[in-house]
Chain A
Amino acid sequence: MKLQHPLARTLVTARTWPFLIDVGVAACALALFFSLISTGTYWLGRPVPIVPISHSLSALPAYAFYSIIRIGIAYFLSLTFAITYGYTAAYNPRIEAWMVAVLDILQSIPVLSFLPPVVLAMVALVPGHQMGIEMGVILLIFTGQVWNLAFSFYSSLKSIPREMLEASRIYRYSAWQRFWQLEMPYAAIGLVWNSIVSVAGGWFALMACEMFTMGDRNFQLPGLGSYLQTAATSGDTRALWAGFTVVILIVVATDQLAWRPLIAWSDKFKFEQVESTDRVTSPILELLRRSTILTSIPGRIWTRIEEPIYRRMARTTDCRIVHPIDEEPDRGKPSAALWTLAICFLCIVVWGATHAILMLSTVTWPDLRLLLEGAGATFLRVNAALLISALWTIPVGVSIGFNPKLARFVQPIAQVLASIPATAFFPILLIGLVKIGGGLGIGSVALMLLGTQWYILFNVIAGAMSIPSDLREVSSLFHFTRWQRWTKLILPGIFPYLITGMVTASGGAWNASVFAEYSHVQDRTLQTIGLGAQIDAATDSGRFPILLLATILISLMVVTMNRLVWRRLYRLAETRYKLEG
């Protein structure tokens, strides 16, 4: 008995002008292809460490394009690495704990600390081409983007519902099928949201890193970051405004053309059993869905790749038996290969550690004292920035959140604001600071604020929106005083979201400290007491022992804060302040 198809998604809406959309898609593809070829030619050319940056407006599109390419490549590298790392950690119980701990530590190291090793390595690897320097910068951005993606993928894998895992085993899914039909879809939503944060972080780092000094070597790459910095130095206001506009345009375009369609599309992977009424819509997604090229060609190509794989996997013995889910970790001895690998790894670690210790021993006591003072100063600054952000974002966020229409309008804007790299504006702000005659002490706090307060804002908005209206009705029914409302209803209600926002902001502030506490402005060098400043200065002057020690200090502080403070607060949020039962 055939019923009508009222529910089927295959019910296609009226296909108005798919042909035009197809033409558009084809044009975009061609343009992309051409620009990739020209970038490739440039990269394979001779290495030019210092590229003269022109201030003309006509050079802007090319610079913007180069920056976008760098971010794009770094992002895809991060995604691949994160998936591989998370997968390995989740399915190898023996090394799982180590891998997660390593992730924790690496996440706490500021991006700039990776600069010397990464760039030097890349330049040494590819000496004859511009690509060496480019890859150095790209890898640098990579180190800022990859860790939270890896965490997200790993924790998604660990939280797949048990019955779905059992279904995949009893029906003898191959690892390939399990990956594409269970693991990736389940992790998709987390990856999308974390990608937004990662790419924003990438832009933040890139804007500051396209021009840098390392010891006696100077580097200057063509891109938006260097454009803005040189424009600020030379005082070319027209170029500056043009540059800002381009940055904001790029961020908004990424949001509309990439993130919102992705979020709307990833709704399909939501693991809830009921359709929710509150969904993100994206007109671009609707548009793309109408293009015949995009809906059929990728699907057909993918099927043609997949089918032989499925057939081949079905014939292996691995796919003919049912693997127990509670496979006890191998009691047997690990293979010889694993032993040799472990021993090699251990040797490398020991060698590296010895060299590091030798390097560290050249640090003098006065240097160490300076570092510790700097650590204290930066610590105070980060927390001051967090406090100030909280002070204004909580009231504003709550009042926006309690007004649903306003919230629906403001939240996407706050998300875009969080994606705009504050480092793009640092140069001009610093010049302004110099003119006022202020030092970098306060200025750095302002710069940290600029980069990180938006995370707290939009998390507080989300938290306020999630407080059920009947709780608010109770508070007005019983005439709660303002103090009572805040302490008994609002603050506990937004607590989990506030903590999430503050953790992200805190990490961002530590990272920003490296750029905010030390800067070349015009022909001067502004700096203040702080760990970030010392890392920057050490990179500038090529004093690697100081760099290493400062990095260790920063990493220690961030990891300790995580364990002592943030983890406890998270647990509190999970148990006492969770709104559902």
Chain B
Amino acid sequence: MNSPAIANAPQVPPVEAIIRAEKVEKYYAQPSENRIQVISATDLSVVPGEILALLGPSGSGKSTMLRMLTGLSTPSAGQVYWHEKPIAGAEINVSIVFQSFALFPWLTVLENVEAPLQARGVTPDERRARSMKMLDTVGLDGFEGAYPKELSGGMRQRVGFARALVVEPEVLFMDEPFSALDVLTAENLRSELLELWANKTMPTKAVFIVTHNIEEAVLLADRIIVLGRNPGHIRTDFRVQLPQPRDRKSEDFTNLVDYIYKVLTKPDVTPAQVPDQAPGHQHPETKVRDQRQMHYQMLPHARPGGMAGLLELLLDKGGRDDIYRLADDLAFEIDDLLPIVDASQLLGFLKIEEGDAAITPSGTEFANSEILRQKELFRAATLEHILLLRQIRRALESKRDHTVPEEFFLDMLDEQFSEDESQRQIETAVAWGRYAELFDFDAGRRRFILPEAPEEEAAASGEGAE
């Protein structure tokens, strides 16, 4: 573990940033005078000569950050500069490669790639020549007359790349460009991107990629910024100095990946120092705080069945395992596994220590029981740890008709979360509540109701839960 491959802040003389964000914030004002802060005051620079990866869980505002840096979204506070001039009126030259490709289905491949050149007033002959050359570079020679719906996903993203690069952008932005593709195609395109970058085939000076895939970030990036959420803020920012081509199995690689996992799984803790580097400086903005006092825990979007499965698996492995290896064994993306891990931790069924998941005694009991007992334990755990479910149950019990409209809780959640997220929180709460037989939900009338149970059982569960 003693390689100088990973270091923190550069020791090179500062280069002028192409794009610089200064104390940018994004919030939405609510009519009730509460502000939903999506991104808190952040500084970020994109400097020439590097691939920069923005990594973070969903809800951390990474796509919003990308849009603010490209001028597509105006920051609510702070300023974004393009070569030290405010971006709003500047003639910037950037491109975006989109997650869903954003191709125009009624234009052929060639017409799709020519479109940005058309917008710049390039003559038809020159347009055609440049576009054909670019299609050749991305390997789509021969497909210029095809329509996007005739192509596979990987080919469509290649068209997206060709379109982005044909205008010779100074900075190339990518918004989760490979997440809609299958693993092999994504792998293929990643290595082609690195080739294009290394051979300096494109006059692009910097690449900015937003991703939730840790391995992808470590594979591609020269610098990684990890975002946290609630509200979005930078948790750590460091350079990756592993030489290309990078080996996934090498020790340095896996150490770095592990470090990032630890950072992501412990959202409340200041990240430790990046492995193996001189006591350089951490990014100053690593302390975590929330703008308002959190009343409601943010429920991770996981199903009770998933938690049961995870705990049983963990028990099988002796009660403790590395999260990275768990994800690997299950062939899960870490983004899919983390909510289940988070949820289990929230309910007290497991603990996270140093990037490992360790099952607790209550988790062991849960994993060992059969379905009915599991439901009972789940009910007890949710009533003890989850404020929202406790409130719903109490409200239902205290009302005479034992029903409560969903609006009531949406209103309270709205103060803490955005409208979409509040809706999702209610959906997750309903799923957990139904599994735990705490309450039921009438989707037609949008009301919580008490499940119909014989009097004694209801009384008994009511007592047991309290």
Residues in A lying within 8 Å of B, measured CB to CB: 1-5, 7-10, 161, 163-164, 166-167, 169-174, 177, 181-182, 185, 268-275, 303, 307, 310-315, 319-322, 324-328, 576
Contacts and interface: CB of A to CB of B under 8 A. Distances in A.
B145 A8 contact: yes
A32 to B, nearest CB: 28
A65 to B, nearest CB: 35
A167 B102 contact: yes
Nearest to A4: B142
Interface in B61-91: 67, 70-74, 87-91
A311 B120 CA distance: 7
B98 to A, nearest CB: 5
A272 B144 CA distance: 20
Interface in B119-135: 119-121, 123-124
B115 A171 contact: yes
A174 B70 CA distance: 18
B442 to A, nearest CB: 12
Contacts of A3: 141-143
A170 B95 contact: yes
Contacts of A10: 145
A163 B72 CA distance: 11
A312 B118 CA distance: 11
A319 B72 contact: no
Contacts of B67: 166, 325
Nearest to B142: A3
B235 to A, nearest CB: 26
Interface of B: 67, 70-74, 87-92, 94-96, 98-100, 102, 104-108, 115-116, 118-121, 123-124, 141-150, 163, 167, 443-444
A270 B119 contact: no
Contact of B119 (A7, A307, A314): A314
Closest 8 CB pairs of A and B: A314-B121, A8-B145, A171-B116, A322-B71, A3-B142, A163-B102, A311-B121, A10-B145
Given A164-B102, A167-B102, A326-B74, A313 B124 contact: no
A310 B127 CA distance: 13
B74 A324 contact: yes
B73 A172 contact: no
Contacts of A319: 119-120
Contact of A271 (B105, B121, B124, B167): B105
Contacts of B91: 320-321
Contacts of B143: 3, 7-8
A173 B119 contact: yes
Given A4-B142, A7-B150, A10-B145, A172 B120 contact: yes
A320 to B, nearest CB: 5
Contacts of A173: 115, 119
A137 B131 CA distance: 51
B167 A313 contact: no
Nearest to B153: A273
B174 to A, nearest CB: 12
Nearest to B446: A575
A324 B150 contact: no
A29 to B, nearest CB: 27
A169 B107 CA distance: 18
Given A166-B102, A315-B121, A324-B72, 10 more contacts: A7-B143, A8-B145, A167-B98, A171-B163, A173-B119, A268-B147, A270-B105, A307-B124, A319-B120, A325-B67
A325 B67 CA distance: 9
Nearest to A576: B444
A166 B96 contact: yes
Nearest to B90: A321
